[in-house]
Structure 1
Amino acid sequence: MTLPEHISIWGELANVDHEVRHVDVGGVRTRVLQAGSGPDLVLLHGTGGHLEAYARDIAGLAADFRVTAYDMVGHGWSDLPDRPYTIDVLSDHLLGTLDALGIDAPHLSGESLGGWVVAWTAAHRPDRVGRLVLNTPGNIANKPEVMARMRDSTMAAVQDPSDATVRRRVEFLFHHKELVTDELVNLRRAVYSRPGFVQAITNTLVLQDPLVRKDFAWDPAWVGKVVAPTLLLWTEHDPTGGLDEADMLLEWLPDARLHVIADAGHWPQWEKVEEYLRAHREFLLPEKDPT
């Protein structure tokens, strides 16, 4: 009998020592998972997400890094204080999490919203960042139609956290929608059903309002201040931004390279695990790069 490649999130973590706990970050109870040893690598999920977005990668990364994944403020099972979660707020929460964990200047890898947060942090606090991976950071061109689609699909799933609406929201992240599991959908349903989460997602989706977004929008004025070596991890089928937007970042960033993962959508870390892991190892541990 052949077992499926992915059984469950716990199955992915079954053979790696890890710890899940909550730490206090400026009064925000913040859920953190850590595994492995070596250079520090911190992973940031996307809008409405949670650290399980990286469940398929933690064991592989832990072979080379001390991996930290956490739920951003207003997300997952971290606290949901009632305030707008603008990029500066999310960046401050990242820095506070690093302080709480005693991490100085880790490598940062952020997906979607997480990519925006790590880029902003690298621009404004270069002393706290090693190397940078921007994984499908999304809508670099600040297109109103992409903002509207993100806002409407996310809010619909949170207001009605039924299987059908949440499954549609999760499937949006995938090119191969058959990889969306009941477990992943039900985790999102549990998060979206938390008391106060409708207000929390409203506080996150302010970033899809052009008037709020303009203060944090991707722009060469601040992106050009990112001195950390940066890997742009793009895919062929990202619904939030094409390779033309990757080209924009390549022009704006002082030290960047592009890696395109074929046959994947917005979550290459789930759909193309081995290529995602290899891209991180080769960029973050260049002495191990066989080329």
Structure 2
Amino acid sequence: MLSWVDGQPSELLSVKDRGLAYGDGLFETIAVNAGHPLLLERHLARLAEGCMRLQIPLDLAAVRAQLLAFSQQLNEGVAKLILTRGDGQRGYTPPQPAQPRLILQAAAKPGYPATYAEQGVRLFACAARLAEQPLLAGLKHLNRLEQVLARSEWHDAEHAEGLMLDTSGRVIEGVYSNLFVVSAGVLVTADLSRCGVAGVMRAELLSQATAQGIECQVRDISYAELLAADEVMLCNSIYGVWPVRALLAHHWSVGPLTRKLQAIARDLLDG
């Protein structure tokens, strides 16, 4: 499968790379249609925010150029962009100056069953909890062991995603998705200032819903509020929006606001 390292076709990586040693870097998972990376500006903005907060030097114009060229060669699929701080010596001290490394990997788009979007999915109640770490909250950094442990909790085909709470019991997100609830016509998604990933599809849906006059709130969501919600849905930048139909013994119907956001996401991912 197509793979580039610093702009050159390669599958080789230095064992001194700090992304490998410490998870010292960031990544973006980007849908590509007809040679075009979708939601490009939101992906690049999140990458830039992450680099600023982690103090990783970023040549955004060079990253954009490489991603566009890579997407043209890929044409259809998923591009994973990984930016690490580059090579370093043993120890946590970051190299000065750092020489970041850009890795681009291609994959086919996942073949999710059509029923996930049409009828909704069942959530698995994950025991793994997200640690509250404001320093890293919202970033799509390379440290994903919490998600790895959560995803290892179920192996059946009945559950399409897992629900993740934080260590205080707040509802945060799915293992690889953001989560929305609808309560009395208000679209609500979790405050991600303590933990979680600020997804680009989440951001776009909030923006477009607000523009269409839908009341939106970003705040804490309790488990009790989740269960009492009128609608529950998941989103990410690859599959768009999935209704949630069940969690343990609790069930929800697929509602009109879920279908509206689903149509918005579908238009975005059609390119």
Shorter chain as denominator, the TM-score bin is under 0.3
TM-score, normalized by length of structure 1? 0.23
Higher helix share: 1
TM-score, normalized by length of structure 2? 0.25
